[in-house]
Amino acid sequence: MALDGNTGAARFLPERLTLPELRRAAAHCEGCDLHRDATQTVFGEGPPDARFLIVGEQPGDQEDRKGAPFVGPAGRILDKGLEEAGIDREEVYVTNAVKHFSFTLKGKRRIHQKPTVAEIEACQPWLNAELALLKPEMVVVLGATAARALLGAAFRVTQHRGEVLELGEALAVATIHPSAVLRAPDRDEAYQGFLSDLRLARRSCSS
Protein backbone atom coordinates (compact mmCIF):
# COMPACT_ATOMS: atom_id res chain seq x y z
CA MET A 1 0.00 0.00 0.00
CA ALA A 2 2.89 2.34 -0.61
CA LEU A 3 2.08 5.71 -2.07
CA ASP A 4 4.93 5.40 -4.58
CA GLY A 5 6.56 8.60 -3.47
CA ASN A 6 3.30 10.55 -3.49
CA THR A 7 2.32 12.04 -0.20
CA GLY A 8 -1.37 12.57 -0.65
CA ALA A 9 -3.56 15.46 -1.73
CA ALA A 10 -2.69 17.92 1.05
CA ARG A 11 0.03 19.72 -0.89
CA PHE A 12 -2.40 20.38 -3.77
CA LEU A 13 -4.97 22.20 -1.66
CA PRO A 14 -5.46 25.85 -2.69
CA GLU A 15 -4.59 28.71 -0.38
CA ARG A 16 -8.07 30.10 -0.50
CA LEU A 17 -10.50 27.44 0.60
CA THR A 18 -13.69 27.85 -1.42
CA LEU A 19 -15.54 25.16 -3.34
CA PRO A 20 -14.69 26.59 -6.79
CA GLU A 21 -11.01 26.93 -5.82
CA LEU A 22 -10.97 23.39 -4.48
CA ARG A 23 -12.48 22.04 -7.67
CA ARG A 24 -9.91 23.88 -9.78
CA ALA A 25 -7.03 22.64 -7.65
CA ALA A 26 -8.29 19.06 -7.51
CA ALA A 27 -8.20 18.91 -11.32
CA HIS A 28 -4.38 18.91 -11.03
CA CYS A 29 -4.02 16.61 -8.03
CA GLU A 30 -1.26 14.02 -8.18
CA GLY A 31 -1.60 12.95 -4.57
CA CYS A 32 -1.69 9.27 -5.50
CA ASP A 33 -1.14 7.19 -8.62
CA LEU A 34 -4.79 7.05 -9.67
CA HIS A 35 -4.53 10.31 -11.63
CA ARG A 36 -2.22 8.59 -14.13
CA ASP A 37 -4.67 6.30 -15.86
CA ALA A 38 -7.98 7.98 -15.13
CA THR A 39 -9.43 10.56 -17.56
CA GLN A 40 -10.02 13.36 -15.07
CA THR A 41 -10.68 14.28 -11.46
CA VAL A 42 -14.35 13.90 -10.63
CA PHE A 43 -15.00 16.50 -7.96
CA GLY A 44 -18.15 16.90 -5.87
CA GLU A 45 -21.15 18.73 -7.27
CA GLY A 46 -24.06 20.59 -5.79
CA PRO A 47 -25.12 23.90 -4.29
CA PRO A 48 -22.77 25.42 -1.67
CA ASP A 49 -25.67 25.74 0.77
CA ALA A 50 -26.72 22.09 0.44
CA ARG A 51 -28.06 20.60 3.66
CA PHE A 52 -27.24 17.04 2.62
CA LEU A 53 -23.77 15.80 1.76
CA ILE A 54 -23.80 12.43 0.03
CA VAL A 55 -20.50 10.58 -0.10
CA GLY A 56 -19.87 7.62 -2.42
CA GLU A 57 -16.77 5.55 -3.10
CA GLN A 58 -15.10 6.77 -6.28
CA PRO A 59 -16.16 7.63 -9.83
CA GLY A 60 -17.06 4.72 -12.09
CA ASP A 61 -16.41 4.32 -15.81
CA GLN A 62 -19.10 6.77 -16.92
CA GLU A 63 -18.31 9.32 -14.22
CA ASP A 64 -14.66 9.21 -15.30
CA ARG A 65 -15.64 10.01 -18.89
CA LYS A 66 -18.20 12.67 -18.05
CA GLY A 67 -16.41 14.29 -15.13
CA ALA A 68 -19.43 14.27 -12.83
CA PRO A 69 -20.31 12.03 -9.85
CA PHE A 70 -23.10 9.44 -9.94
CA VAL A 71 -24.13 9.77 -13.57
CA GLY A 72 -24.00 6.01 -14.35
CA PRO A 73 -26.09 3.02 -13.18
CA ALA A 74 -25.38 3.62 -9.46
CA GLY A 75 -26.42 7.24 -9.96
CA ARG A 76 -29.78 6.16 -11.29
CA ILE A 77 -30.42 4.14 -8.10
CA LEU A 78 -29.29 7.07 -6.00
CA ASP A 79 -31.55 9.52 -7.88
CA LYS A 80 -34.53 7.22 -7.54
CA GLY A 81 -33.88 6.74 -3.81
CA LEU A 82 -33.49 10.47 -3.18
CA GLU A 83 -36.69 11.24 -5.03
CA GLU A 84 -38.68 8.56 -3.21
CA ALA A 85 -37.26 9.68 0.13
CA GLY A 86 -38.38 13.25 -0.60
CA ILE A 87 -34.86 14.65 -0.75
CA ASP A 88 -34.64 17.41 -3.34
CA ARG A 89 -31.53 17.33 -5.53
CA GLU A 90 -31.24 21.09 -4.96
CA GLU A 91 -30.52 20.36 -1.29
CA VAL A 92 -27.84 17.81 -2.06
CA TYR A 93 -24.10 17.99 -2.69
CA VAL A 94 -22.76 14.69 -4.03
CA THR A 95 -19.13 13.64 -3.85
CA ASN A 96 -16.85 10.63 -3.49
CA ALA A 97 -14.24 9.56 -0.96
CA VAL A 98 -11.75 9.05 -3.81
CA LYS A 99 -11.86 11.42 -6.76
CA HIS A 100 -10.22 9.42 -9.51
CA PHE A 101 -11.53 6.23 -11.14
CA SER A 102 -9.56 3.10 -10.21
CA PHE A 103 -9.69 0.21 -12.65
CA THR A 104 -7.90 -2.75 -14.18
CA LEU A 105 -8.04 -3.50 -17.88
CA LYS A 106 -9.66 -6.70 -19.10
CA GLY A 107 -9.07 -6.54 -22.81
CA LYS A 108 -10.54 -3.16 -23.64
CA ARG A 109 -12.91 -3.12 -20.70
CA ARG A 110 -12.12 -1.06 -17.67
CA ILE A 111 -13.11 -3.04 -14.59
CA HIS A 112 -13.78 -1.03 -11.44
CA GLN A 113 -11.31 -1.71 -8.68
CA LYS A 114 -11.97 -0.88 -5.05
CA PRO A 115 -9.67 1.91 -3.86
CA THR A 116 -6.97 0.91 -1.40
CA VAL A 117 -6.73 2.31 2.11
CA ALA A 118 -3.67 4.29 0.98
CA GLU A 119 -5.69 5.88 -1.84
CA ILE A 120 -8.57 6.69 0.49
CA GLU A 121 -6.13 8.36 2.88
CA ALA A 122 -4.32 10.20 0.07
CA CYS A 123 -7.60 11.67 -1.16
CA GLN A 124 -9.01 12.51 2.27
CA PRO A 125 -7.94 16.21 2.29
CA TRP A 126 -10.42 16.96 -0.52
CA LEU A 127 -13.28 15.33 1.31
CA ASN A 128 -12.35 17.00 4.59
CA ALA A 129 -12.27 20.39 2.85
CA GLU A 130 -15.65 19.80 1.19
CA LEU A 131 -17.12 18.84 4.57
CA ALA A 132 -15.60 21.87 6.30
CA LEU A 133 -16.88 24.31 3.66
CA LEU A 134 -20.34 22.87 3.18
CA LYS A 135 -21.12 22.36 6.88
CA PRO A 136 -24.01 20.07 5.98
CA GLU A 137 -26.77 19.17 8.38
CA MET A 138 -26.75 15.52 7.31
CA VAL A 139 -24.06 13.35 5.77
CA VAL A 140 -25.24 10.21 3.95
CA VAL A 141 -22.41 7.70 3.88
CA LEU A 142 -22.71 5.27 0.96
CA GLY A 143 -20.86 2.00 1.57
CA ALA A 144 -17.63 0.84 3.16
CA THR A 145 -15.16 3.17 1.42
CA ALA A 146 -17.01 6.34 2.40
CA ALA A 147 -17.47 4.90 5.89
CA ARG A 148 -13.75 4.21 6.14
CA ALA A 149 -12.99 7.82 5.16
CA LEU A 150 -15.55 9.46 7.44
CA LEU A 151 -16.25 7.09 10.30
CA GLY A 152 -12.97 5.22 10.74
CA ALA A 153 -11.53 1.76 10.16
CA ALA A 154 -13.55 0.03 12.86
CA PHE A 155 -16.94 1.17 11.57
CA ARG A 156 -19.08 -1.52 9.92
CA VAL A 157 -21.92 -0.37 7.67
CA THR A 158 -23.72 -3.70 8.08
CA GLN A 159 -23.84 -3.23 11.86
CA HIS A 160 -24.65 0.46 12.04
CA ARG A 161 -26.66 1.26 8.94
CA GLY A 162 -29.95 2.90 9.72
CA GLU A 163 -28.65 4.61 12.87
CA VAL A 164 -28.36 8.36 13.28
CA LEU A 165 -24.70 9.06 14.03
CA GLU A 166 -22.79 12.19 14.93
CA LEU A 167 -20.05 13.42 12.66
CA GLY A 168 -18.54 16.59 14.08
CA GLU A 169 -21.29 19.22 13.90
CA ALA A 170 -23.31 17.15 11.45
CA LEU A 171 -25.52 14.12 11.73
CA ALA A 172 -24.78 11.12 9.58
CA VAL A 173 -26.54 8.00 8.35
CA ALA A 174 -24.57 5.16 6.78
CA THR A 175 -26.16 2.85 4.25
CA ILE A 176 -25.21 0.38 1.55
CA HIS A 177 -23.75 1.64 -1.69
CA PRO A 178 -26.22 1.86 -4.58
CA SER A 179 -23.91 -0.46 -6.58
CA ALA A 180 -24.46 -3.06 -3.85
CA VAL A 181 -28.19 -2.69 -4.47
CA LEU A 182 -27.55 -3.51 -8.14
CA ARG A 183 -25.46 -6.57 -7.24
CA ALA A 184 -27.75 -7.91 -4.51
CA PRO A 185 -29.41 -11.32 -5.07
CA ASP A 186 -32.71 -9.73 -4.06
CA ARG A 187 -32.45 -6.29 -5.57
CA ASP A 188 -35.85 -5.16 -4.45
CA GLU A 189 -35.20 -6.00 -0.82
CA ALA A 190 -31.79 -4.30 -0.97
CA TYR A 191 -33.32 -1.20 -2.53
CA GLN A 192 -36.04 -1.02 0.15
CA GLY A 193 -33.36 -1.11 2.86
CA PHE A 194 -31.40 1.62 1.10
CA LEU A 195 -34.56 3.71 0.75
CA SER A 196 -35.48 3.31 4.40
CA ASP A 197 -32.00 4.60 5.39
CA LEU A 198 -32.44 7.62 3.09
CA ARG A 199 -35.84 8.27 4.64
CA LEU A 200 -34.27 8.19 8.08
CA ALA A 201 -31.70 10.76 6.94
CA ARG A 202 -34.52 12.95 5.61
CA ARG A 203 -36.59 12.66 8.82
CA SER A 204 -33.60 13.48 11.00
CA CYS A 205 -33.12 16.87 9.33
CA SER A 206 -34.69 19.97 10.83
CA SER A 207 -37.54 20.56 8.38
Q: Which residues bind ligand SF4 (CB under 6 A)?
A: 9, 26, 29-32, 34-35, 41, 98-100, 119, 122-123
Could you give the CA distance from residue 19 to residue 75 in angstroms, rounded to a whole number?
A: 22
Closer residue to ligand URA, CB minimum distance, 22 or 166: 22
Residues that bind ligand URA (CB under 6 A): 56-60, 63, 69-70, 72, 74-75, 96, 179
Between 35 and 177, CB nearer to ligand SF4: 35
Nearest to 38 by CA among 7, 10, 75, 65: 65
Query: Could you say which of ligand SF4, ligand URA, none residue 74 binds, taking C-beta under 5 to 8 angstroms by partner kind?
Result: ligand URA
Work out how close the CB of 100 gets to ligand URA at its nearest, in angstroms, rounded to a whole number. Answer: 11
Instruction: Between 70 and 126, name the residue whose CB sits nearer to ligand URA.
Output: 70
- Closest to ligand SF4 by CB, 81 vs 115, is 115
Residue number of the CB closest to ligand URA reads: 56
Residue 22 CB partners (closer than 8 Å, separation 6+): 13, 14, 43, 126, 129, 130, 133
Q: How far is the CB of 34 from ligand SF4 (least distance, A)?
A: 4
Least separation in angstroms between residue 191's CB and ligand SF4 is 29
Nearer to ligand URA, 98 or 171 (CB): 98
